Amino acid sequence: MPGEWCCFAAQRARWVARRDSAPAGRVGRRAVDRQLSGDTPTETPILRDRADVAAYAAYRMPATFEAVRSALEAFADAVPGWVPRDHTDVGGGTGAAAWAVGDVWAGSAP
């Protein structure tokens, strides 16, 4: 598994280096900026169309996945042998947290 993560980390680093200059990266960054600025009226969608949704997912999902996975991995290391019975991703995002749970406790049956 560590070798796989090393490969994943290297691929992710290359992807992040290209992301901000790609058209989808610019669209995703604008969507994130709209979300965080507080300037968008509540009745106005932050993600206005499928292109915004795809760009937002491409821009945010890798970072969210890695942040959640890192926290869960630290928890799993602190409490060896503990395995969740089930989990719920209560966010309104890309589902990255659910993917992270599946990654940290891969092969464990909830």
Low-confidence stretches of the chain (pLDDT beneath 50): 1-3
The predicted pLDDT at position 42 comes to 67
The predicted pLDDT at position 1 comes to 44
**Spatial separation of the C-alpha atoms in residues 20 and 7, rounded to whole Å:** 21
Residue 83 domain-assigned (yes or no) = yes
Residue 8 domain-assigned (yes or no) = yes
**Spatial separation of the C-alpha atoms in residues 3 and 85, rounded to whole Å:** 28
Residue-number span of the structural domain to which 86 is assigned: 2-104
Residue 9 domain-assigned (yes or no) = yes
How many residues make up the chain in this entry? 110
Residue 16 domain-assigned (yes or no) = yes
Q: Which amino acid is at 56?
A: Y
Residue 20 domain-assigned (yes or no) = yes
- The number of distinct structural domains making up the chain is 1
pTM: 0.59
The predicted pLDDT at position 46 comes to 66
The predicted pLDDT at position 12 comes to 64
Residue 91 domain-assigned (yes or no) = yes
